[in-house]
Amino acid sequence: MQIKPQAKYLKDYQAPSHEVTRLELTFDLHPTKTKVKAKAHYIANCGTTSLVLDGVGLTLLSINVNGQPFEHFECQEQHLQLSNLPNEFELEIETEISPKTNTSLEGLYLSGGAYCTQCEAEGFRKITYFLDRPDVLTIYTVTVIGEQSMPCLLSNGNQVESGQLDDGRHFAKWHDPFKKPSYLFALVAGDFDKLEDMFVTCSGRKVNLVLFVDKGNLAKAPHAMASLKRAMKWDESRFKLEYDLDIYMIVAVDFFNMGAMENKGLNVFNSACVLANQQTATDRDYHTIESIVGHEYFHNWTGNRVTCRDWFQLSLKEGLTVFRDQEFSSDLGSRGLNRIDAVMAMRTHQFAEDAGPMAHPIRPNKVIEMNNFYTVTVYNKGAEVIRMMHTLLGEENFQKGMQLYFERHDGQAVTCDDFVAAMQDASQTNLSQFKLWYEQVGTPTLTVATEFDDISATYTCTFTQKNAQNDPVQSPLHIPFAIELLDKNGHALALKVNGKTTSKIIDVTHPEQSITFEQIPEQPVAVLLEDFSAPVIVNYDYKLSELVHIIAHASSDYARWEATQQAFKLEVLEGVKQYNAHGTISLSCELVDTFNALLCKRQGDLALLAELIRVPSFDTLSSEFECIPVDALNTCIVQFELDIATRLANPLKQTYESCEEKGEMSHKAVSARALKNVCLYYLAMVCDEKILSWIQSQLDCDNMTLKLGALKAVFNAQLPCSEPSMAVFDSQWRHDLLVMDKWFALQATQKSDQAIANIKNLYEHPCFDKSNPNRVRALVGSFARGNAVQFHRLDGQGYRLLGDLLVELNAINPQNASRMLTPFMSWKRYDKARQKLMKEQLERLSKLTDLSGDLYEKVDKALN
Ligand code: B3K
Ligand code: ZN
């Protein structure tokens, strides 16, 4: 019988019943019979004599209170209830767990041969009975006992003792001087290679840095180490934040549900987010690794030193830390390109979440399974909300706010309100209307009307804002709206209001409001919502000629890219019309000429140029439609790409030839490779001898960015060399599963009708393993998210493939299953035939007798 999982509500928050002053844990490691002793000192907060501890899947061995066996307890499925307790007491609980059979990758589990933990959000309760909630902070002392075959026995903080035991095993004891919640606890035990380094902090303290990787992987560790040092330095200089322990450890493991985890002093990382060298990792991987290493490091202050009162406040640490990692990447690399990445994630994934059944505020108020709320809304939209505050306050006041936040709350578990209060008080800015961003749901729209008056030489913008239909907050938001006005030569006009020069940020706060710019001598072209200054949809009827003007002249790289996106949107709307009328689909000459000019000039950052000429993905373009026209959209994308390839073959060739790089990692070389790959992608569609020779030399080189770029190009164009090249890659890289993930991902995007049979065959590939989230995401995730042609087949085979997998994953790893389910969440946005087929799969899942809470929550929302 299925029990309906219970929801928790933000409004029901109650402070914890007890304070825990210290916790001593002892782990006696064994694959199926690990014994965990937890000795803790509890003090009742309000005279209560009972205590309810969280615990899931534990075998209880013994309970002592103040050294005596204790009998007043009741063991329930998810709790341990104790009664008749004194006000203050020492509780000692011994439990047994089985890491080897824990395939959920939450709690203590085995990854390959190594023990590791994942406790956020509520995994600590799979290790021992405890008050497993973020507002119970305590001091941890942890003893790990293991076999000699596991020389590294690690936990948080500093190692204070280690030694040999009489039975031939050994132990290590760790003490973390900082109070922390249970979700930041970590334990790792295994046999690793170590890369060691050192960082001297701004106050002159020496910090040991240690990176633990699987044996044989040392050569792939230096980039992550260098990234960590850059992150430590950057946080000191930009945020005045210094690291606080004597050691910082990162362990790379192969079985991991997410990217990484910020456990105090002992980060656990998915190996895909650590390991890199030129032969195995792309430039993109290098960038991702640097940003994730930074992100986890930045959590040390925003998350660990100041944490969340309850899980509804997750964006307090995640939105803020994403903002910080974005700034880190932008300060160290290209601000424009990083902004493009961030906005692409918002438009493509977050707007879709906002428009679907999982829509929630950045501070959700109702949750069944917390793991379902590590979303693009909480993370990325949360970061946009922090960014808006930064825009409104400016860097100086924002940093004052950060300092005040730490002054007030260091060592505490707090709320988003506390954060905004610190920002408000430090900057003397009223943020009361702004705070609605924490409650509102869905993407607001801002309709812009403009009017140029040549007699008075004024330009008036009128804004009408509208909350999303599904938004319970139906009142106006505070929207910082950035604008630039270009004259006919492409120069930015000075912005003057009431005779005074004004900032480019307009505070839009009313349902409808206008602003009139003066001394505007001619009809300008307006660059609206420059830099995506707020997470809103702008409605404005751009003409293609205006967009072309922006692409050529806007001062911000981001704005130029954004204009290409808008231009493609116009093209695709027209293309879909043509498709329905059986007309010809082709790109406007005006846009092709613009690309031609860009390719001929090749000015500025080449990586930006690569982004400007790329056709947006199916997922990005589909957000323009209420009912997604799958077949028309797929046809448009293929046709647009072919159009660019054929009509711009010469400039693409010249551009390809002009790109100079010698495999080095400088920004210039990375940009050149990005542009080379985009050119080659198009050129493979119009292949000739010369192009083939370029392809071959990229396939043969030992730089993964170039090799994979060429492989993608031939695979997409289905050149005769595609199959043999894929086979060579397979035999060359079978020993390296992270590289094979790239190959799996590419296989999954095959457009031909063979795709599904091929994927089923690949399930049997020696490198594939359904219990490893990286493999599943590479193969099936790439299929469902990146192969619109085959996933949305009208015979339902694509949906069935995902449905079949979800049934299996539900039993193996509910967290991964739930994430893989996401493509089904937007089922209502497709045509009736596809809706029916997707719904069938959701209904099939809803009937599983062992349906996990993770899937239940999303399936239920999708269907009801
Ligand atoms: N805080 C972790 C994510 C935990 C996810 C739990 N399902 C990584 C991060 O955001 O830094
Ligand atoms: Zn995070």
Q: How far is the CA of 542 from the centre of ligand 2 (A)?
A: 37
DSSP 2: P
Model-level pTM? Answer: 0.99
Summarize pLDDT for 254-268 with one digit per residue, the tens: 999 999 999 999 999
Kindly tell me the sign of the dihedral angle through the C-alpha atoms of 126, 255, 175, 95: positive
Question: Contact, 169 vs 295, CB < 8 A?
Answer: no
Q: Which ligand is nearest to the CA of 259?
A: 1
Element holding 517 (H helix, E strand): strand 512-517
Residue-wise DSSP of 782-799: HHHHH-HHHHT-TTSHHH
Say how many Å lie between the CA of residue 454 and the centre of ligand 1.
55
Angle at 753 between CA 747 and CA 758, to 5 degrees: 40
> Which portions of the chain are predicted below pLDDT 50?
1
Measured in Å, residue 260 CA sits from the centre of ligand 1 at: 7
Is residue 369 in contact with ligand 1, taking CB distance under 6 Å?
Answer: no
318 Cα–ligand 2 center, Å: 5
Q: Is the CB of 261 under 6 A from ligand 1?
A: yes
What is the DSSP code string of 619-676? HHHHTT-SS--HHHHHHHHHHHHHHHHHHTHHHHHHHHHH----S--SHHHHHHHHHH
pLDDT of residue 1: 43
Q: What pLDDT, on the 0 to 100 scale, is given for residue 2?
A: 58
Tell me if 318 CB under 6 Å of ligand 1: yes
Ligand 1 atom 9: residue of nearest CA: 261
Catalytic residue among 24, 92, 94, 296: 296
Rg (CA), the chain: 28
What does the alpha-carbon distance between residue 716 and residue 683 come to, in Å, rounded to a whole number? 11
* Nearest of 38, 41, 138 to residue 93 by alpha carbon: 38
Nearest CA to ligand 1 atom 2: 261
Which ligand is closest to the CA of 267, given by its number? 1
Ordered structural domains, the chain, with CATH = 1-189 (2.60.40.1730), 445-543 (2.60.40.1840), 544-720 (1.25.50.10), 734-864 (1.25.50.10)
> Which ligand 1 atom is nearest residue 318's CA?
10
121 lines ligand 1 (CB under 6 A): yes
Q: Give the whole-angstrom CA distance, residue 461 versus residue 484.
A: 12
Q: Rounded to the nearest whole angstrom, what is the distance from the C-alpha of residue 513 to the centroid of ligand 2?
A: 37
For residue 746, which of 727, 732, 764 has the smallest C-alpha distance?
A: 727
Pick the ligand that lies closest to the CA of residue 321: 2
262 lines ligand 1 (CB under 6 A): yes
Q: Is 296 a catalytic residue?
A: yes
User: Would you state the pLDDT for residue 243?
Assistant: 98
Testing ligand 1's pocket by substitution, the residue of 125, 253, 261 carrying the most ligand atoms inside 8 A of its CB is 261
Query: Per the omega criterion (within 30 degrees of 0), is the bond before 121 cis?
Result: yes
- Give the residue, by CA position, lying nearest to ligand 1 atom 1: 261
Measure 713 CA to ligand 1 centroid, in angstroms.
34
Query: What is the reported pLDDT for 4?
Result: 83
The rounded distance, in Å, linking the Cα atoms of 146 and 171 is 6
